[in-house]
Structure 1
C-alpha cells in the first residue's frame, strides 16, 4: 500500500495519476462500521477499474478544537495500526492529511476541489455522518450536500451505520467498553482483538520473587489502555509471528503499598527469556477479574495460580 502525507497547501506532484475510489473518514480503530465503508469502496473500485484509496487525518479534530466532550479522548489505533489495517483490508493508496488551521478553514467547496476532485476520485464513499470543510458543518459540510459540490464529476456513496444489538457501532461505544474492561465487546465491535504496543522495561521484579516473572511495559503510542484489572492476553514480539499466552495486570500493586503508579505487567505462561528493550504487541482477549488488595504474598500467589489456570483455558480455546 502506498502512503502519501499531505499538508495544506500540498504539492500536486505528490498525487499519483489514475482514477481512485476514495473512502473518507477518520477511521479510529477501523471498526466494523469503517470496514463496511472500505468494503463498499472496494466493490466500487473493482467495478470501475480504479484503485481503492482512503483519506484520513493525522489527528482527531476534537483534540485540536479542545471540545469539552472530547477532554478524555483516547485513540483506539495509532497511525501505524491504522495503516496496517487498511493494507489488510485491501487498500491500495492512503492519504494521511495534516489536520491544521489551513485545512479546517477551507470552505466545503474548496475542500471538495482539493481533497476529492484533485486526488482523481471518480467515486467518494463515506459513512452517513461524515463531515468536511469549515464548521459549522450543518451549513453544508455533510453528506447530504456532497452531491451538489460534486456537480456530476464523481459519484457519491453514503454507507449506512452498522448496528450491533440495535445500537450503532462507533469508536465512542468501543471506548466505553474498554473503560469497563470489556475487551470482548470491544473485539466484537472492532471485528478483531483490541491491541496495544509497548516496550519491555525494568520493573520492581516482585513477580519474579513470587514465581510469576513479568514483562513490565512502557507504552509508546498514544492509544487507550483498558481499565485496571487482570486479563488473558496474547503477546507478540516485534518482528516475530509467534504469539505467546499470557496474563496481564493493569494496576497499582496496592498489595505492596498505596503510592505506586499504574503499571502494565504481563506474565507469559511458557516463556522465561530476558527481553528488556524489545517492543511487543498485546492482544487483549478477556477480563479475568478486577484489581484487589490482598492480605499478603501468600494470598496473592494463590490468586495468581488460579488466574494462570483460567488464562490457559481461555487462550488454548482461542488458539
Structure 2
C-alpha cells in the first residue's frame, strides 16, 4: 500500500517543496527529508494598463512609501494548495512592499446563489476558510454575504466599493479569474479598472499537480472516488469532517469495537462510502496557561450505510485505537488518511466482526509507519 504522500527523487536529490505535511520518510534509503509532491511553482506577473490599452510586463517592486493593501478575492473553498500558493505569494510580496495582505471571500459560496438547481457540497465551512487563510499570514479576511444583487454588480462598481474600504494597491488573482455580472470582470478588464482606481494586477499561474491544475472540483472528485490520499495531496493536508459524538446503537461495543458516532454535516463534501484509516482529534483539557492541547488517535472509521444491519442513513463511526473513555457530547474531528475497503453487506455478524479485526490490524500497521507518525 503506497503512503499518503509519495516522494519522487530527481537528479541531485529530493526537491524540497513545502506541502504542509512536515518531514516524511522518502523512498529509496529511508533518509528523512522533504518531499517533491509534483507541484510546479508558478510565476507571478504584473498586468497593468499600457497607454490605456492594457498590457503585460515583468516588474520589480520597491517598498511603498505609504500604507496600502494587497488584496485577493475568491471563494477559496477548501483553501487547497493552489489557494495557498496564491495567498502565500501575495503575503510575501506585501511584506516586501509594506502593504497589508487582505483576503475577500464570500458566504455562501457564489455557486450556491448562481446555480441553486445544482447540489453544491462545500469542502470547508466559512469559519474554517477564515481560519486557514489567516494562518497563511493575511492581516484581515473580509467575508461578504453573496446575494443576487452582488452577483449582478458590474465589476467596476464592486471594485469601487472595495476601494472605498481598502486602499488597494495590488490585486492578486489567477489567470482565469473573473468577477461581476456575467463574469465580465476578467483579468484584462480589471487591469483597466485598476488603471482608473490606482491599483495594479498581479497574476499567478495556476498550481499544477502532475500536469493538472489543482482545483476544488478536483478535490471533490477525488473524495467522491474514495481517493483520500489524492485529496490530501491537493489540499496539502488530510481531508477532515467533524461533529458532535452521539449515542448510537452500541453495536460496535457489542462486537468488541466501541465507536464514536458522528452524523456527517449537511452540505459538506465527504469521501465515498467505505472503511478508512483515520486520525481523530478531540479538544483536550486547558493547561496551566489556558492553552488547550488536542488529543488525537489513529483509528478505523466506517463512513456511510450499514448494509449488514439494513441501515441506510449515513453515519461516521470511528473506532479509536487504544482509546478507553467516553467522548459522548464532545466535538470530534475525523481526518481521512487512506481507504481500506468499500462498504459491503456481510452474510453474518461474525463475518463482519472478523473483517473489522482485519481492518484494525491493517490500521495498526499503518500507524506504526514512520510516515504517518509525522502527522499526529
- For normalisation by structure 2, the TM-score amounts to 0.76
Structure 1 residue 177, shift from structure 2 partner: 0.4
Q: Secondary structure at the match of 2:172?
A: strand
RMSD value, Cα: 1.7
Answering whether residue 221 of structure 2 is matched by residue 176 of structure 1, we say: yes
Match of 2:278 in 1: 233
Which whole-Å CA distance do the structure 2 matches of 1:315 and 1:122 have between them? 48
Which whole-Å CA distance do the structure 2 matches of 1:147 and 1:80 have between them? 31
Is the 8 Å Cα contact of residues 263 and 314 (structure 2) preserved in structure 1?
no
Structure 1 residue 264, shift from structure 2 partner: 0.9
Answering whether residue 148 of structure 2 is matched by residue 101 of structure 1, we say: yes
Instruction: Find 2:98's aligned residue among 49, 68, 82.
Output: 49
Match of 2:176 in 1: 129
In the TM superposition, what whole-angstrom CA distance separates every residue of 1:288-315 from its partner, at most 9, and x where no partner exists?
A: 0001111112111111111001112223
Q: Which has a greater percent of helix?
A: 1
Match of 1:29 in 2: 78
Answering whether residue 314 of structure 2 is matched by residue 269 of structure 1, we say: no
Match of 2:187 in 1: 143
Q: Secondary structure at the match of 1:53?
A: strand
Is the 8 Å Cα contact of residues 113 and 148 (structure 2) preserved in structure 1?
no
Instruction: Find 2:269's aligned residue among 205, 220, 224.
Output: 224
Cα 1:74–1:312 change in 2 (3 A) is: same
Answering whether residue 161 of structure 2 is matched by residue 114 of structure 1, we say: yes
Instruction: Find 1:253's aligned residue among 300, 303, 306.
Output: 306
Q: How many residues align?
A: 297
Structure 1 residue 221, shift from structure 2 partner: 6.1
Is the 8 Å Cα contact of residues 67 and 98 (structure 2) preserved in structure 1?
no
Structure 1 residue 316, shift from structure 2 partner: 3.0
Instruction: Find 2:139's aligned residue among 78, 92, 95.
Output: 92
Runs (5+) with no aligned partner, structure 2: 1-65, 284-291
Structure 1 residue 67, shift from structure 2 partner: 5.5
Structure 1 residue 118, shift from structure 2 partner: 3.5
Match of 2:5 in 1: none
Which whole-Å CA distance do the structure 2 matches of 1:116 and 1:308 have between them? 56
Q: Which moved more, 1:77-86 or 1:174-183?
A: 77-86
Structural mapping, 1:3-82, within 5 Å? 18-66=67-115, 71-82=118-129
Which whole-Å CA distance do the structure 1 matches of 2:264 and 2:163 have between them? 36
